[in-house]
Structures are given as structure tokens and as C-alpha cells.
Amino acid sequence: APRPRSAAPASPLIAPLKLGDAQLAHRIAVSPMTRLRMEPGTDLPRDLNGLYYEQRSSQGGLVITECFAISADSGGYVRAPTMSTDAQAAAWLPVVKRVHDAGGVFYAQLFHA
């Protein structure tokens, strides 16, 4: 007689995880990829950036951004974001909102070259 099948154990990959103040539904993340698609001349995010991160968001999933230079003189790429002024931080708020509205958790990758 065939042996009864037992349920396979759940993969840790799909187990919830507490990360700082964020509660992730699983351990699958969008890895950081420098896209070089900031607005030419300002290096501020465009609607395209918000759409990109929103499309890759999932309920309780982690999105890690492309590299954010921490000062005007620490960037290593043209058209990569910089996060050193209040105006730059404010420009990213709509992008963060889109990720949050899609159920995702947004973490910025900081960078210095």
C-alpha cells in the first residue's frame, strides 16, 4: 500500500520576519538595483521611479532602493538619487507612499563613493 504523504515543512523564505519596526509577511525582497533614471539636471525622482517601485511591491514585502548618495559630493553615478536635503527627502515621499499603498516596506540603500 502507498505510504501517506506528509506535508512538507514551510520554507523559511515565506515565513514572517520582524525587521526593525517593520513586519514583513515573507523574506523575499526586491534587491537594490541602481537604475539611473532620476530627472536629468535635478537627480530627483520622477513618476517613472514611483511606478517602478510600486510595481515591485507586495503585501508585507521589502523593497530596497537603488543607491542614495548621502551628500552632493558622494555620488558615484550620473542620474542616481541623492538624499542630503529636505527637498530631496520630500521628493521621495510620493514614491514611498506608492510602495506603502501597495502594502510594501521601503528601505533606502545609502551610498558614498
Q: Residue 15 falls within a domain, yes or no?
A: no
Q: Residue 70 falls within a domain, yes or no?
A: yes
Burial class, 26, CB count within 10 angstroms (exposed 0-12 / middle 13-18 / buried 19+):
middle
Q: What is the pLDDT of residues 1-17, one digit of tens each?
A: 777 776 666 899 999 99
Residue 94 has pLDDT above 80, yes or no: yes
Structural domain count of the chain: 1
Q: Residue 17 falls within a domain, yes or no?
A: no
CA–CA distance, 110 with 113 (Å, rounded to integer): 10
Q: Residue 24 falls within a domain, yes or no?
A: no
**Residue ranges making up the domain that contains 60:** 32-111
* Average pLDDT score over residue span 52-77: 94
Q: Residue 14 falls within a domain, yes or no?
A: no
Q: Residue 105 falls within a domain, yes or no?
A: yes
Q: Residue 23 falls within a domain, yes or no?
A: no
Burial class, 101, CB count within 10 angstroms (exposed 0-12 / middle 13-18 / buried 19+):
exposed
Res 43: pLDDT: 87
Confidence of residue 27 (pLDDT cuts 50, 70, 90): very high
Assign 68 to helix, strand or coil: strand
Q: Residue 89 falls within a domain, yes or no?
A: yes
